[in-house]
Chains A and B, each alone.
Chain A
Amino acid sequence: MKPHALAHPVAVAGRHRSAAARLFDRVVQRYLALPIGVVIALLWANTAPEPYFIVAQSLAFPVNEIGMALFVGLIMQEIVEAVMPGGALHSWRRWTLPLLAAGGGIAGSAAVYLAYVRGHYEPILETGWPIASAIDIAAAYYVLKSILPRSGALPFVLLLAIATDLFGMLIIAPQYPTAVVHGGGLGVMLVALGIAGAMRALRVRSFWPYLAVCGTLSWVALYREGLHPAFALVPIVPFLPHEPRRLDLLADPPDDDAVHHFEHEWNTLVQGILFLFGLVNGGVLFRGYDTGTWALLLAALVGRPLGILTAVGVAVAAGWHLPRGLGWRQLLVAAMACSSGFTFALFFATGILSTGPLLAQLTIGALGTAAGSLLTIGAARLFRVGRFAR
C-alpha cells in the first residue's frame, strides 16, 4: 500500500465523533442504506400508495439510470482492484472452482425459476430468470464473514458472486427498455474512451474528471444505443487509478492513500444513491405477490445453493480440490450465503422490467430473498459451522 497521501476528515476526527456520525459510518460500511430505503418505501407504499408511486416514478429515471451508474462503477472498481496483482482475489487459479460454482448457481436458479413459472403456465414471467440468478455480494460477504471470518469460504464466495453478477449484467444490459433508439453511440463512446486514455496518460489522480466527463459521455453513448446506461462507468473504470484491495471488498476503504480517499468519497455518495434506489424501487403493495414472487424465492433459496453444491460436487469428482479449510459443511453454508439476491436482484428487475404487475411481484420476491441471510445463519447453527462450531 502507498503511504497516506491525502488526509481525510474522518481520519482526523477519530474518536471524537458523535454517536450519529458513528451510526452513519456503520450504515455506510455495512451497506445498510438500501435496506433502510426499502423499509421506508414499503411502509410508505402500503399506507399512502398514490403519493408514494408519484414520487417514486418521478425519481425513477435519475436514480435508476443515472445514480446507479455510480454504484455499478464502484462495484467494477472494487472488482478490478481485487483481481489486480496484489489484490485479494488475484491469481486466476483461484477462479476456476468459483466460476464452476457460479455456473451451477446460475443454472440451478434459472432451472427452478423457469420450471416454476412454466408449471404455473405464466410464460410471460420467463423473461425474469436473470433476476433469479442475482447474488447480493455485500449480503453474502457480510453474513459469511460473521460466520467464517478467516476461512477460504470468503474469497470463494466473493469470486462466485462477482462472476454471477457480471454474467447477469451482461444479460440485462441489452434488455434495457427504451422508447427510442437514437444511434450514434459508438462515436460518443470512442470519444469517452479517448479522453479517459488521455487523462490516464497525463496521470490524473482524481476520480472525478473521469466520472464526470468520460462517464457522462459513456452514459450518453449507451443511452443512445438502447443499452442500460447504468453500466456507463464499466468501460471507464479500467482507466482510473487503482490500488490493490484487501479482502474487505465492499467495505468503506481505509483512507490511507489518494485512491482510497476518492473511493471513500465515492462509496459515501453511492450509499446515498442506494438509499434512494431502495426508496424508489422497494415500495410494493404487499398484496402484489404472485407466481413470480414464489418462483424467485424458490430459485434463490433452493435452486441456487443446490446448483452451487452440485457444480462443486461434480468438479471435486473430476479432480478439483475444495479451497483450503473448506469442508462440505462449510461449503453448504457458503452456498446458502449466496441465496440472497436483494440489491442486485432489485437492480436487475428494474433493468429488465418496466412499471407493472410483473415488476411488482418480482420485486417482492427480490426483497424476500434477504431471508437467505437468516437461513444461512440457521444452517450454520444446525451444522455447527464457524463460530457456531462449539
Chain B
Amino acid sequence: MRRVAVLLLALLATVRFTPAAQNAARAVETLPARADSLKFAVLGDNGTGEKPQYDLGQQMAAVRRSFPFDMVLMLGDNMYGRQDPQDFVTKFERPYAALLQAGVLFYATLGNHDNQNNRFYKAFNMGGERYFTFVKKNVRFIVLDSNQLDPKQRAWFEEALRQSDDRWRICFFHHPIYSDGGRHGSDVALRVVLEPLLIKYGVDVVFSGHDHMYERLKPQKGITYFVSGSGGELRRGDVHPSGLTAAYYDQDQSFMLVEVAGDEMFFEVVARSGAKVDSGVIRRQPVGTRESR
C-alpha cells in the first residue's frame, strides 16, 4: 500500500513539476504582465500537424496561465501539406485547442505554403483579405502578403500607414527583409520596396517567419525586426550570425510573448522545452529621433 502511495506521489510530482511546466512558470518572469497592457503571442511556420507543433501549443497554453495573452500573430505557413477541411483540425484547431477554447484570437498572414483561400477561414481573422489592418488598444497592426508585393498592395500599405495615428505601429508578413537564416536570409528585393515606407511612417517593430528559427536583429534605421519561424518547422543550426544579429535561437521550436505597455514593448521568447531563450524591452522612439544602424 505504501509503495502504491509513493508511486502515486511520484506520478503527481512528475505531472506537476515537469521541466516544461517549471520553465513555463519561469518563462514569463521578465514580462510585467500589467493589467491594462496589450499582451500577445507570435509564432510562424507552425502548421505541420506534427508533435513539435502540438508541444508548442501546450507550452503556449501553459504560459498563458501566468501571462494571459488574448491574441496570437501567425506569421505565415500556417498550414503545410494538404489543406483539406480535416487539416484545419489537425494542423490548427487541435494543437491550439486550449487557446481557442479560452477565446484567444489568431491573426494570420499568408506564407508561401498557404492556400490563398485560407484567408476566408474564420479562425484566421483575415476577413477574406490578403492584406489587412487592425487596432488593439494603442497598437496598429498592418498585415501584408509578402509573396508578391503588387502595386495595389503597396499603395494600400502606404495609405494604411499614412492614416494611422496610433502610438505603436507593428507590421507582420511572412518573408523577412532582414534575416541571418542560411536557407533564405534577407529578402533584399522586398526590403527595397518596404523599408522606405516603414521608416517614413514610423513603424516600430516588424515580425516575419519563413526562416525556421528565431532571430532578433539589431535595430535597423530605428526599426526592430524579429524572425520567428520555428513554430512547428525547425531548421536546426541554420542561423549564420552576422553584425546584424542581436540574438538567435535555432536549436528547438519556439514562440514569442509580447507585451506593449505605454512606450515600452517587452518581449520574451520561449522554446518548446519551456526555456526562455531571449527577452528584452523596446522603447518606442518618436520618428525623427531614430538612430541609423
Report the Cα distance A197→B80, complex, angstroms. Answer: 56
Contacts of A54 in B (CB 8 A): 192
- 17 sampled A-B residue pairs with Cβ under 8 A: A57-B193, A123-B83, A123-B116, A124-B112, A124-B114, A177-B150, A177-B152, A180-B155, A285-B188, A287-B183, A353-B148, A354-B151, A355-B148, A356-B149, A356-B190, A357-B190, A358-B148
Q: Are B148 and A49 in contact (CB under 8 A)?
A: no
Q: Are A57 and B189 in contact (CB under 8 A)?
A: yes
Distance in angstroms from B68 CB to nearest chain A CB is 35
Distance in angstroms from B229 CB to nearest chain A CB is 14
Contacts of B146 in A (CB 8 A): 356-357
Distance in angstroms from A291 CB to nearest chain B CB is 8
Residue from A53, A121, A287, A290 within 8 A of B81 (CB atoms): A121
Contacts of A285 in B (CB 8 A): 185, 188
Distance in angstroms from A176 CB to nearest chain B CB is 10
Contacts of B155 in A (CB 8 A): 179-180
Residue from A49, A57, A178, A358 within 8 A of B147 (CB atoms): A358
Distance in angstroms from B107 CB to nearest chain A CB is 19
Report the Cα distance A360→B184, complex, angstroms. Answer: 12
Type the 1/0 row for B64-102, where 1 means its CB is closer than 8 Å to any CB of A: 000000000000000011110000000000000000000
Report the Cα distance A290→B192, complex, angstroms. Answer: 21
Report the Cα distance A375→B115, complex, angstroms. Answer: 35
Report the Cα distance A49→B187, complex, angstroms. Answer: 10
Chain A contact patch, size range = 20 to 34
Q: Are B149 and A355 in contact (CB under 8 A)?
A: yes
Residues of A within 8 A of B (CB): 49-50, 53-54, 57, 121-125, 177-180, 285, 287, 290-291, 353-360
Type the 1/0 row for B176-198, where 1 means its CB is closer than 8 Å to any CB of A: 00000001110111111100000
Contacts of A179 in B (CB 8 A): 151-152, 154-155
Q: Are B148 and A354 in contact (CB under 8 A)?
A: yes
Report the Cα distance A178→B153, complex, angstroms. Answer: 9
Residue from A178, A180, A287, A355 within 8 A of B184 (CB atoms): A287
Q: Are A50 and B191 in contact (CB under 8 A)?
A: yes
Residues of B within 8 A of A (CB): 80-83, 110, 112-116, 146-155, 175, 183-185, 187-193
Residue from A124, A177, A291, A357 within 8 A of B151 (CB atoms): A177
Contacts of B82 in A (CB 8 A): 121
Residue of B nearest to A363 (CB): B189
Distance in angstroms from B293 CB to nearest chain A CB is 12
Given contacts A121-B80, A122-B113, A287-B185, contact A356 B152 (CB under 8 A): no
Given contacts A179-B152, A287-B184, contact A121 B192 (CB under 8 A): no
Given contacts A124-B112, A287-B184, contact A357 B147 (CB under 8 A): yes
Contacts of B187 in A (CB 8 A): 356-357, 360
Report the Cα distance A358→B153, complex, angstroms. Answer: 15
Distance in angstroms from B47 CB to nearest chain A CB is 11
Distance in angstroms from B51 CB to nearest chain A CB is 20
Residue from B153, B184, B185, B188 within 8 A of A50 (CB atoms): B188
Distance in angstroms from A55 CB to nearest chain B CB is 10
Given contacts A121-B113, A287-B183, A355-B148, contact A50 B192 (CB under 8 A): yes
Most chain B beta carbons < 10 A, residue from A121, A178, A290, A353: A121
Report the Cα distance A287→B184, complex, angstroms. Answer: 6
Given contacts A57-B192, A285-B188, A356-B149, contact A122 B183 (CB under 8 A): no
Residue from A121, A122, A125, A355 within 8 A of B189 (CB atoms): A355
Contacts of B188 in A (CB 8 A): 49-50, 53, 285
Residue of B nearest to A57 (CB): B192
Contacts of B147 in A (CB 8 A): 124, 356-358
Report the Cα distance A180→B153, complex, angstroms. Answer: 11
Q: Are B192 and A357 in contact (CB under 8 A)?
A: no
Report the Cα distance A125→B112, complex, angstroms. Answer: 8
Distance in angstroms from B212 CB to nearest chain A CB is 14
The 5 A-B pairs of least Cβ separation, nearest first, read A356-B148, A179-B151, A354-B150, A177-B150, A49-B188
Contacts of A355 in B (CB 8 A): 148-149, 189-190, 193
Contacts of B115 in A (CB 8 A): 123-124
Contacts of B151 in A (CB 8 A): 177-179, 354
Q: Are B83 and A121 in contact (CB under 8 A)?
A: yes
Distance in angstroms from A346 CB to nearest chain B CB is 15
Residue of B nearest to A360 (CB): B189
Most chain A beta carbons < 10 A, residue from B81, B148, B152, B155: B148
Most chain B beta carbons < 10 A, residue from A49, A53, A124, A285: A124
Distance in angstroms from B263 CB to nearest chain A CB is 31
Contacts of A177 in B (CB 8 A): 148, 150-152
Q: Are B116 and A124 in contact (CB under 8 A)?
A: yes
Distance in angstroms from A64 CB to nearest chain B CB is 12
Q: Are B148 and A359 in contact (CB under 8 A)?
A: yes
Residue of B nearest to A61 (CB): B151
Contacts of A353 in B (CB 8 A): 148
Report the Cα distance A215→B259, complex, angstroms. Answer: 57
